[in-house]
């Protein structure tokens, strides 16, 4: 069957959306098929949350509740050794991945077991890419089109392997250092320092945030980051500045491919039209006024 269609055999993954192929294709990011390498850099206060290495039965369900409570949609990059094999742990984590897709989040590949692909022989790298792709298709119902290289480790050879398979590589520019610390407060503090440094040194006022849903402290940091952004918006609203906009569409972070562009090269940052930005900011300002008024009366 073509890669863009659901596999014909009846399997448990069909129950994620029934026969609604449109929702399945959204979940696996088919809109980003044959895309580019996305760094996350943006001059606008656009924020996209991404989570790597899961799902984890101990921490991902709590994160999904927080995402629902805050109204945020995210991108999950799956290490598929967590959803393949035998045992109740694997079965539970496969169910969690279906739940991630069902709730409207995007699902991407993060290889089978997290090796740095440039260090592998070509056949080994291909196996990591294709076996992870097949595992996600078995669970969700279609292959993914978004990919995040473990550790952000890239090479021209690996970039070409991914481009030849139609992947958009979604990197990040706002790290949280959550693999180096052990508390939610430290994650938030590190992320804020990175955000401030990016704006000061690179003119990047927003971007793609990297967190790990395998770390309990990262899960607890997520709602605190959202709360900080929304409280900061109260100050920006008073100052008449652009507000932080938590988005769910990676397309806001890279320019579309033009004729002759190669999928294995880094894409330029997106330049959303002033009309698009103005409409988003107008809606966001109306929501922020109500939220900030509630905060002020507490």
Residue located via tokens 């918006």: 233
Tell me what pLDDT residue 16 has. 64
Q: Is the distance from CB of 136 to CB of 147 less than 8 angstroms?
A: no
pLDDT single digits (tens) 220-253: 999 999 999 999 999 999 999 999 999 999 999 9
What would the two tokens of residue 119 be? 């260090």
The mean pLDDT of the chain is 92
Distances in Å between the Cα of 55 and the Cα atoms of 30, 65, 92, 128, 295 are: 21, 14, 9, 18, 34
Q: Average of pLDDT values for 84-109? A: 97
pLDDT > 70? residue 10? no
246: helix, strand or coil: strand
Return the SS3 of 162.
helix
Give the number of other Cβ atoms within 10 Å of residue 248's Cβ: 15
pLDDT 10s digits, 31-89: 999 878 999 999 999 999 999 999 999 999 999 999 999 999 999 999 999 999 999 99
Secondary structure (H, E, C), 37-89: EECCCCCCCEEEEEEECCCCCCCHHHHHHHHHHHCCCCEEEECHHHCCCCCHH
> Is the pLDDT at 211 greater than 80, yes or no?
yes
Q: What domains can be seen in the chain, in order of their start residue?
A: 26-296 (3.20.20.370)
- pLDDT tens across 141-181, in order? 999 999 999 999 999 999 999 999 999 999 999 999 999 99
Longest dimension (CA), the chain: 61
Distance CA 70, CA 244 (A): 14
Q: How far apart are CA 46 and CA 136, in angstroms?
A: 28
What is the reported pLDDT for 8? Answer: 40
Check residue 5 and give its pLDDT.
41
- Going by their DSSP bridges, the two strands 106-109 and 75-78 should be labelled as parallel
Q: How many CB atoms lie within 10 A of CB 50?
A: 25
Please give the distance of CA 157 from its chain centroid, rounded to a whole number.
Answer: 24
CA distance 251 to 254: 6
Tokens 């129950």 -> residue: 15
User: If you average pLDDT over residues 187-213, what whole number do you get?
Assistant: 97
Q: Based on the number of CB atoms within 10 Å of its own CB, is 200 exposed (0-12), middle (13-18) or buried (19 or more)?
A: exposed
Residue 201 pLDDT exceeds 50: yes
């Amino acid at each position: 069957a073509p890669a863009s269609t659901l596999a014909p055999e009846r399997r448990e993954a069909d129950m994620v959306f029934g026969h609604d192929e449109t929702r399945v294709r959204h979940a696996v990011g088919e809109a980003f098929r044959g895309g580019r390498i996305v760094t996350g850099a943006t001059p606008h206060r656009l924020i996209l949350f991404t989570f790597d290495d899961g799902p984890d039965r101990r921490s991902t369900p709590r994160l999904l509740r927080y995402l629902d409570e805050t109204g945020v949609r995210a991108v999950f990059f799956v290490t598929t050794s967590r959803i393949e094999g035998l045992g109740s742990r694997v079965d539970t984590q496969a169910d969690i991945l279906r739940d991630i897709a069902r709730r409207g989040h995007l699902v991407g590949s993060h290889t089978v077991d997290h090796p740095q692909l440039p260090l592998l022989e070509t056949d080994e790298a291909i196996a990591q890419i294709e076996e992870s792709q097949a595992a996600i298709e078995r669970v969700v119902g279609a292959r993914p089109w978004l990919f995040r290289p473990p550790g952000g480790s890239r090479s021209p050879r690996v970039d070409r392997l991914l481009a030849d398979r139609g992947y958009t590589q979604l990197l990040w520019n706002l790290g949280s250092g959550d693999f180096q610390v052990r508390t939610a407060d430290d994650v938030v503090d590190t992320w804020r320092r990175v955000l401030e440094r990016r704006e000061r040194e690179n003119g990047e006022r927003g971007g793609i945030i990297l967190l790990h849903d395998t770390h309990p402290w990262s899960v607890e940091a997520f709602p605190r980051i959202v709360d900080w952004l929304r409280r900061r918006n109260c100050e920006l609203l008073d100052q008449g500045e652009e507000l932080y906009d938590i988005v769910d569409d990676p397309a806001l972070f890279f320019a579309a491919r033009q004729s002759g562009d190669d999928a294995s090269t880094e894409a330029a940052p997106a330049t959303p039209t002033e009309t698009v930005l103005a409409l988003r900011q107008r809606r966001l300002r109306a929501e922020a006024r109500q939220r900030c008024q509630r905060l002020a009366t507490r």
